[in-house]
Structure 1
Amino acid sequence: MRPDHSFKGRQFTAEVILWAVRWYLMFPISYRDLELMLQDRGVAIAHTTLFRWVQTYAPEIEKRIRPHLRASNGSWRVDETYVRVKGRWMYLYRAVDSRGQTIDFLLSAKRDAEAEKRFFRKALGQPHTVNPRTITVDKNPAYPCAIEKLKEDGELWRRSRLRQVKFLNNIVEQDHRRVKRLVRPGLGFDSFWTARRTLAGYEVMAMVRKGQLRRIGGRDMRAQANFVAELFQIAA
């Protein structure tokens, strides 16, 4: 196994960095709150450094966790919510299955058929997803266009059934609250790429807390910490 050099040149140990990043991504705290929490543990660090850690390691944690997720089922519930980026509202497409397990997410500046096609292509390409039997969405007229095009291109199973029934999407609408709760302390994002990296971390750690990791419970914090540490070849 090749040594992991992800933390090479950092002033702090990998254990401290992963602890800080995991906590920021799991709980509704600001960078300044996390700075004070670390000071209480004897670790003096600026909130700007914590921001840089999250921007560097949140997408890396997401990439490394993806292959270890449990398979989702074929009943997809798709919806979009709003995220403020540099004073503008942008669209966060999200999907869960009928059990509430996260399928995928995509941040987009636009809410149209092209954005929806990108989202479905991204979701279908994940190792833990299957081609859906049913796709439940709201009354947004762009969804039927996107679904039809994906079927024509052979990217989506032709027998996948689209259901535009709003009340059936309560599962995903309730699940949006997880993201909103985490975003609120930060008062929005300064750029699209900052938002994208941070949201990737929020979403993948939410998957972990939902119990989507194979052989690791959603409430077993010690096992989760050990697992993330092992992904980077360190001891938690």
Structure 2
Amino acid sequence: MYSRHRFPGEIISYCVWLYYTFPLSYRDIEKMMLYRGIEVTYESIREWCSKFGQQYANQVRRKRPYLTDKWHLDEVVVTIKGQQYYLWRAVDSAGNVLDILMQQHRDTQAAKRFFRKLLKQQGFVPRVIVTDKLKSYEAAKNQMLKSVEHRAHKGLNNRAENSHQPTRVRERRMREFKSLGQTQRFLTAFEPIRDHFHPKQHQLTAQRYREQMRQRIRDWQEIVGLKSAL
């Protein structure tokens, strides 16, 4: 995986982990590595994130915990170079991010496109979907998910709305996203990796949280091809 790279996989995967897990810039990570006596340019870190981020994220998805059959869907405006786009997001009832999709519209066709991507990614049909009162959801649901219960109420959808917050933090840290394609590529890698290292701490005892984190770190070390130290 890391052949023909000047730096070993341990350093490469560590930089990628830092970038996608914490709200850091490439230059922040460059400074952190220099503090550890490792001279690596922010351009190299950017290339590593671009090359390996999606590979790692795809494998992280395969190690996700059990996903529930109650899905919360929501869309939020993202401004890119003065133009409005829509980030569509789905999470399950436990707060696990299922999928995201950047689109130019939030009409019925956009909702259907998101449903198709979501169903293909998850491989099963939910029992319930929870959305806000956007009519596009109901129209798309009636065409594609007729047997699925649909609950449309803004107050019920806080789980999906809250899930946008880490993305907003990164958006501010990156001083807005640069293009539609760049945003989709970044978030497709960012969401699974960040989610993997942020179990729902408020729902766990301290001991259970540490156990989960140790297991997730072991999973990550396996994914990136490192020997576990835990």
Rounded Cα–Cα distance in structure 2 between residues aligned with 1:56 and 1:87: 29
Cα displacement string for residues 163-216 of structure 1 (whole angstroms, at most 9, x for unaligned residues): 22011011111121122112321112223332222112220023213449xxxx
Q: Does the C-alpha gap of structure 1 residues 218 and 208 become closer, same or farther in structure 2, counting only changes over 3 Å? A: farther
Structure 2 residue ranges without an equivalent (≥5): 201-207
Going from structure 1 to structure 2, the CA distance change for 1:141 and 1:228 (only over 3 Å counts) comes to same
Mapped to 2, the partners of 1:203 and 1:189 lie a distance apart of 15
Give how far 1:45 is off.
1.6
**1:162 aligns to what?**
150
Letter in 2 for 1:234: L
Equivalent residue, structure 2, for 1:190: 178
Which of residues 148, 159, 167 is equivalent to 2:142?
148
CA distance in structure 2 between the partners assigned to 1:93 and 1:20 by the alignment: 28
Q: Deviations over 1:123-174 (max 9, x none)?
A: 22235x6421211111212111211221xxxxx3x32112220110111111
The aligned counterpart of 2:129 is 135
Q: Which residue of 2 aligns with 1:33?
A: 28
Contact 1:58–1:200 under 8 Å retained in 2: no
Amino acid at match of 2:216: Q
Task: Report the CA distance shift for 1:10/1:191 in structure 2 as closer, same or farther (over 3 A).
Answer: farther
**Over aligned residue pairs, what C-alpha RMSD do you find?**
2.2
Q: 1:72 aligns with which of 46, 58, 67?
A: 67
Percent of aligned pairs with the same amino acid: 31
Paired residue for 1:99? 94
Q: Normalization by structure 2: what TM-score?
A: 0.85
Q: Give the conservation status (yes or no) of the 8 Å contact 2:60–2:193.
A: no
Task: Provide the residue aligned with 1:126 in structure 2.
Answer: 121
Alpha-carbon distance between aligned partners in 2 of 1:221 and 1:72, rounded to the nearest angstrom: 18
What does residue range 47-66 of structure 1 map to in structure 2 within 5 Å?
Answer: 47-66=42-61
Between the aligned partners of 1:37 and 1:106, the Cα distance in structure 2 is 32
Whole-angstrom CA distance in 1 between matches of 2:86 and 2:209? 28
- Bigger mean CA offset, 16-25 vs 115-124: 115-124
Q: Distance in 1 between matches of 2:193 and 2:176?
A: 19
TM-score by length of 1: 0.83
Q: Is the 8 A contact 2:9 2:225 kept in 1?
A: no
More helix by share: 2
Is the Cα contact below 8 Å between 1:136 and 1:162 reproduced in 2?
Answer: yes
Give 2:38's aligned amino acid.
V
Gaps of 5+ in 1: 1-5, 151-155
2:80–2:176 CA contact under 8 A, matched in 1? yes
Indicate the residue corresponding to 1:8 in structure 2.
3
Distance 1:222 1:38, change over 3 A: farther
Are the counterparts in 2 of residues 54 and 198 from structure 1 also a CA contact under 8 Å?
A: no
Aligned residues: 220
Match of 1:208 in 2: 196
3-state secondary structure, aligned to 1:73: coil
- The secondary structure found in structure 1 opposite 2:74 is strand
Q: Does the aligned pair in 2 maintain the 1:137–1:169 contact within 8 Å?
A: yes
Match of 2:218 among 201, 221, 226: 226
Q: Tell me, in whole angstroms, the C-alpha distance in 2 between the residues paired with 1:85 and 1:52.
A: 22
Q: Is the 8 A contact 2:86 2:105 kept in 1?
A: yes
Q: RCO greater where, 1 or 2, for CA within 8 Å and sep 6 or more?
A: 1
188-197 or 53-62, which deviates more: 188-197
Distance 2:77 2:56 in 1: 24
Sort the Cα spacing of 1:205 and 1:41 in 2 relative to 1 into closer, same or farther, 3 A: same
Over 3 Å counting, the alpha-carbon distance change for 1:131 and 1:146 in structure 2 is same
